[in-house]
């Protein structure tokens, strides 16, 4: 009996350890922006949070990004929490530089979110083909015989209904899964969009991770608990 109890305790402890060691690593130390590169006019670390902010006195002339500098991502699962006050933002992945003179101008796949009602959860191509998959849509991208991008969509849900999962002005969890050329977004556990990118000429197998601060009226965006699992 004692041996059985000891074995059960050992197995339980091992299961708890496995649950903690789930393969995710933290991307932000909570204290400073070590490992990240963004324009210090707009980005800072504050109280365990990455903050991007523009004001009337300190606007950005174009969309600007803070870039994770510890490598490029291929297949992965990313979890983070965001909160936004005004404007639009997003999470760039498998992305790339858009400017030779501005290291903080990034393009590529974007998990979009905003303070409004329309775009949170979609997959947007920043400098990269525009809206790729809307909310409540499973989209497949191909190229026709003339080289024109074709987007085929299947609805799996209503955009307005899915949008109810987003807590305005509060913290939300974003989860992004990229496997091969299939990309799926979730907000607060609710699937928001799915993209299959068969545009072989343009699609990207790997690239940088970055966070967006949008040009326009003053806004503030915050990120915390950024955790990454790279998939083999």
Report pLDDT digits (tens) over 195-230: 999 999 999 999 999 999 999 999 999 999 999 999
pLDDT digits (tens, 9 = 90+) for 96-119: 999 999 999 999 999 999 999 999
157-195 pLDDT, tens digit per residue, is 999 999 999 999 999 999 999 999 999 999 999 999 999
Query: How confident is the model at residue 229, as a pLDDT?
Result: 98
When the candidates are 2.60.120.560, 3.90.226.10, 3.10.129.10, 3.30.1330.50, the CATH number that belongs to 26-230 is: 2.60.120.560
If one compares 109 and 7, the residue with the highest pLDDT of the two is 109
pLDDT of residue 21: 57
Rounded mean pLDDT, 43-56: 97
Mean of pLDDT values over 80-85: 98
pLDDT of residue 169: 95
Query: Strand ranges (DSSP E) for the chain?
Result: 25-26, 36-37, 43-45, 50-54, 64-68, 76-85, 88-97, 106-114, 123-126, 130-133, 137-143, 149-155, 172-179, 182-187, 190-197, 208-213, 219-230
Phi first, then psi, for residue 74 (nearest 5°) are -110, -95
Half-sphere exposure of 71 (CA within 13 A, CB side): 7
DSSP secondary structure string for all residues of 41-53: TTEEE-SS-EEEE
Over the chain, what is the mean pLDDT? 92
Q: Is the predicted pLDDT of residue 9 greater than 70, yes or no?
A: no
CA distances from 165 to 123, 154, 211, 214 (A): 17, 21, 21, 23
Residue 131, pLDDT score:
98
Question: Across residues 108-131, what is the average pLDDT?
Answer: 98
Q: How far is residue 182's CA from residue 174's CA, in Å, rounded to a whole number?
A: 17
pLDDT, average across residues 76-80: 98
Distance CA 229, CA 221 (A): 23
18 band by pLDDT with thresholds 50, 70 and 90: very low
Q: Is the pLDDT of residue 143 over 70?
A: yes
Residue with the larger pLDDT of the pair 12 and 86? 86
Report the pLDDT value the prediction gives residue 232, as an integer from 0 to 100. Answer: 85
Look at residue 11 and tell me whether its pLDDT is greater than 90. no
């Amino acid at each position: 009996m004692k041996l059985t109890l000891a074995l059960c305790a050992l197995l339980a402890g091992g299961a708890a350890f496995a649950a903690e060691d789930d393969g995710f690593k933290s991307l932000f130390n909570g204290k400073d922006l070590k490992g990240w590169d963004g324009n210090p006019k707009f980005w800072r670390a504050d109280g365990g949070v990455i903050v991007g902010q523009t004001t009337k006195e300190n606007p950005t002339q174009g969309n600007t990004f803070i870039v994770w500098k510890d490598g490029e991502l291929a297949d992965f699962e990313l979890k983070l929490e965001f909160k936004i006050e005004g404007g639009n933002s997003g999470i760039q992945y498998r992305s790339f530089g858009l400017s030779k003179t501005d290291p903080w101008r990034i393009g590529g796949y974007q998990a979009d979110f905003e303070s409004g009602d329309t775009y949170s959860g979609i997959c947007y191509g920043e400098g990269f083909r525009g809206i790729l998959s809307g909310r409540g849509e499973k989209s497949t991208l191909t190229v026709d015989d003339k080289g024109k991008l074709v987007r085929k969509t299947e609805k799996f849900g209503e955009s307005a209904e899915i949008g109810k999962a987003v807590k305005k002005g509060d913290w939300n969890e974003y989860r992004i899964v990229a496997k091969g050329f299939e990309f799926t977004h979730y907000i607060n556990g609710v699937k928001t969009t799915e993209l299959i990118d068969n545009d072989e000429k343009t699609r990207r197998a790997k690239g940088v991770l970055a966070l967006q601060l949008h040009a326009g009226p003053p806004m503030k965006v915050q990120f915390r608990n950024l955790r990454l699992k790279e998939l083999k």
